[in-house]
Amino acid sequence: MTEQNMPCPCGRSPGKRLLAYRDCCGRYLEDFEQTPAPDAESLMRSRYSAFTLGRADYLRATWDPAHRPATLDFEQGLKWLGLSIRAARTIDPDHAEVEFVARSRLDGRGIRLHERSRFVRRDGRWFYVDGEMLG
Ligand SMILES: [Zn+2]
């Protein structure tokens, strides 16, 4: 059971105040059938939070079925350190891109994932399509 009052793993901090999980990505992770993320950046953030929480169900539910992997493996011992959104771009009402850097640590080694992700909206829901590695 996820602690609802903890700071949200995605680090969203409007006005420099860190949002609680239940006021941020928790709204979507805990009720994704009824409460889908309203935009591509929110979906991106909630998927990062889902990775940190090991929530394969959420990751699968928000992955474009045509691109969804058959199985999802979480790296044992990987510790997520933070997410930073670099850019969010709307292409048209149903397509968007989000560029981000996600930092993690594995066996004492820092890992930096810099990706531009593509998202599509179908029937009012955003889905992750795929991503392009940058730098
Ligand atoms: Zn969040």
Distance of CA 68 from the midpoint of ligand 1 (Å) = 22
Class of domain 14-133: alpha beta
Cα gap 103→94, rounded to integer Å: 28
- Structural domain boundaries in the chain: 14-133
Which pLDDT score, from 0 to 100, does residue 2 have?
79
Q: Compute the mean pLDDT over every residue in the chain, rounded to the nearest whole number.
A: 96
Which pLDDT score, from 0 to 100, does residue 135 have?
75
Q: What are 121-131's pLDDT values in tens digits? A: 999 999 999 99
User: Looking at residues 11-33, what average pLDDT do you find?
Assistant: 96
Mapping DSSP onto H, E and C, the string for 29-90 reads HCCCCCCCCCCHHHHHHHHHHHHHHCCHHHHHHCECCCCCCCCCCCCCCCEEEEEEEEEEEE
CB 47 within 8 A of CB 39: no
Does the pLDDT value for residue 68 go beyond 70?
yes
CA atoms within 13 A on the CB side of 50: 24
Distance of CA 28 from the midpoint of ligand 1 (Å) = 9
Which pLDDT band holds residue 1 (cuts at 50, 70, 90)? low
User: Looking at residues 61-72, what average pLDDT do you find?
Assistant: 95
Distance of CA 104 from the midpoint of ligand 1 (Å) = 17
